[in-house]
Amino acid sequence: MSHERTIEQLTREIEHITGTRVRIGWVPFYGIYLEDTETGNKYPLGRKHKKEILAPNEQESICRNLCREHWIILLGLNPSQD
């Protein structure tokens, strides 16, 4: 099973699995960012469309940068062995 997801799929799945709302925002000239509405943490993606595919390592990076490392396991991603 592939764990590639679009930006929209990722946010819906996070909300479904964790109950935490992740908002998709837009900043002109910079692109899309994700915001964890509970913590207020934001992560700029630099992407232009919500339908763009995120690779598993990108999703893992998003979780880490939103300070939600436990989401990596919940989303079925394989955390790197650093």
What is the domain partition of the chain in residue ranges?
5-74
- CA of residue 27 relative to chain centroid, distance: 17
User: 3-class SS at 27?
Assistant: strand
CA distance 19 to 32: 22
pLDDT in tens, 26-56: 999 889 999 999 999 999 998 888 999 999 9
pLDDT in tens, 3-31: 899 999 999 999 999 999 999 999 998 89
